[in-house]
Amino acid sequence: MIQEHLRHVEEKICQACDRSGRDRDDVTLIAVSKTKPIEDLKEAYRCGTRYFGENKVQEIMEKYPQMPGDVKWHMIGHLQRNKVKYIVDKVAMIHSVDSLRLAQTIQTEAAKEQVTIPILLEVNVAGEESKFGLSVEEVIPLTEQISTMKNIHIQGLMTIAPYVDDPEENRWVFRELKKISVDIEEKNIDNVDMYVLSMGMTGDYEVAIEEGATMIRVGTGIFGSRVHLL
């Protein structure tokens, strides 16, 4: 099942790249394995998956020692400051930085571990009340503030687009995130890069690729639907 799903997603990625004149190698597929058992992750790993996305610190802590060392763990969910210390030495990237205080905590913990953490700023492009993330106006000021933190490297932006029936409805969201990243790039801020655009999920990753996504986060499209246990 997972193997077939991965093959299907891979085909769709290639088609979206072809349509938009992009190189397949410029898009990284992150397999969002939240709530899924370790056997499912291992199966995806056997099929070649190396990038896994999780949204809970606890789950990363449990799964991390059970998977091979070459797995790249991506923290994609809302991160509480008191939990940063558990993952700074484990994650390849934090996609969900949305406040100065969180960045300060990441800086402190990363300095203790003597590592530099690649991060993305999460932008709530559509302004949905229910979502975390910076408003569009907050992004540039926060980028400038975080740029001075030595153990943090801003590598781009992330957004979670609204849940829609027709992925075309989210095209403007992806276009807007791309535009913000170009605006920031033109400012040439020291210690800030904008080569990552993390956007697009199972329902809309093809449109996101057409609009410039360099990382897509696909969960149900690979692992099947999630059972929510409370």
Ligand X SMILES: *Cc1c(COP(=O)(O)O)cnc(C)c1O
Q: Which residues bind ligand X (CB under 6 A)?
A: 32, 34, 55, 76-77, 160, 201-203, 217-221
The phi and psi torsions of 44 (rounded to 5 degrees) equal: -60, -40
Work out whether strand 51-54 and strand 28-32 pair parallel, antiparallel, or are unpaired.
Answer: parallel
Least distance from ligand X to the Cβ atom of residue 197, Å = 13
Q: Which is nearer to ligand X, 212 or 221 (CB)?
A: 221
How remote is the C-alpha of 35 from its chain's centroid? 17
Least distance from ligand X to the Cβ atom of residue 189, Å = 25
Q: Which is nearer to ligand X, 126 or 201 (CB)?
A: 201
Q: Which is nearer to ligand X, 191 or 220 (CB)?
A: 220
Q: Which is nearer to ligand X, 56 or 108 (CB)?
A: 56
**Cα distance between residue 227 and residue 196, in whole Å:** 30
Residue type, 159: T
Least distance from ligand X to the Cβ atom of residue 83, Å = 16
Least distance from ligand X to the Cβ atom of residue 157, Å = 13
**Cα distance between residue 104 and residue 109, in whole Å:** 9
Residue type, 142: L
Least distance from ligand X to the Cβ atom of residue 150, Å = 27
How remote is the C-alpha of 216 from its chain's centroid? 7
Q: Which is nearer to ligand X, 133 or 212 (CB)?
A: 133
Residue nearest to ligand X (CB): 219
Q: Which of 220, 223, 218 is nearest to 13 (CA)?
A: 218
